[in-house]
Copies of this chain bind each other. A is one copy, B any other.
């Protein structure tokens, strides 16, 4: 299967993405307006976070600034930082759009784009990480690390600012996610809560997992070391993965083994990062293990 097939329509070229952003922003405002009308108790919240803003990047910067601020890192400073970064970087904005789409499409509990924008800690932590990553690559590392710390405190999501993350990402529920310094996450990946992409030992260097496009990682999975999870692979919930996982195969268990066997693992056709099928392997697995 060519890598291209894993490309999700949500990952558009820059120009299209601009239009997409505009369309999405219109959509989000319409949703927020509808909710504000039906629920006066929430209207103030919806106006301050969405309806008073002139663009998605302003709304998101405002919301992140107010969520991540502390008594020693003021909301105005963070707002400024987020807005400045998003405004200058179309790539970043298109990643936000792709993430919003990914959340909306893959999470059946996601009732609207505005719901994701306001309430999904996985989405918000990911956007804040994208800014921290920009700061990291611009060698503004102390600031990037301070931001990581705030994200870890507020959302219980701990992503090293050096970690590279693609577009169209769903961090579902997200609490407890840990992503290490040299980890790489491809496009259209879905990662459940309590997932660890961790290192090994106290030596530096390239020591964290590389997650291919379209991968699905189940809740509580722990993936350790500079190993490769191939495109479209699936990692079962609660698995402890210490070995490479080939493309379009499934690894389950503690320690994780490939469904179908090490030598000739079973290969699936769908892109699990998008289909979000957590449990289809049960029968196979049961057959294999028990």
Contact = CB atoms under 8 A, between A and B. Distances in A.
Contacts of A45: 44, 72-73, 146
Given A75-B71, A108-B207, A290-B255, A153 B153 contact: no
A199 interface: yes
Given A152-B121, A253-B255, A254-B253, A192 B202 contact: no
A149 B120 contact: yes
A266 to B, nearest CB: 16
Contacts of A154: 153
Given A207-B108, A220-B220, A255-B290, A52 B47 contact: no
Give the number of copies in the complex. 6
Given A45-B146, A220-B222, A254-B254, 4 more contacts: A39-B140, A71-B75, A121-B149, A202-B275
B38 A142 contact: yes
A274 B202 CA distance: 8
B219 A142 contact: no
Interface of A: 35-36, 38-49, 51-52, 58, 62-63, 65-67, 69-77, 79-81, 105-109, 111, 115, 118-121, 140-143, 145-146, 148-149, 152-156, 158, 160, 173, 175-176, 178, 180-181, 192-194, 196, 198-205, 207, 218-220, 222, 224-225, 236-240, 242-243, 252-255, 257, 262, 274-280, 282, 285-286, 289-290
Contacts of A74: 44, 48, 66, 71-72, 75
A41 B36 contact: no
13 contacts: A35-B142, A41-B52, A45-B72, A65-B76, A66-B74, A105-B202, A108-B181, A152-B173, A219-B224, A220-B220, A238-B240, A255-B282, A262-B290
A262 B278 CA distance: 23
B198 A278 contact: yes
A224 B285 CA distance: 15
Given A156-B156, A202-B108, A236-B240, A279 B225 contact: yes
Contacts of A72: 44-45, 48-49, 63, 66, 74
Contact of A107 (B43, B202, B239, B262): B202
Contacts of A257: 290
Contacts of A65: 76
A194 B173 contact: no
A238 B254 contact: yes
B237 A238 contact: no
Contacts of A238: 220, 222, 238-240, 254
A278 B255 CA distance: 13
A251 to B, nearest CB: 12
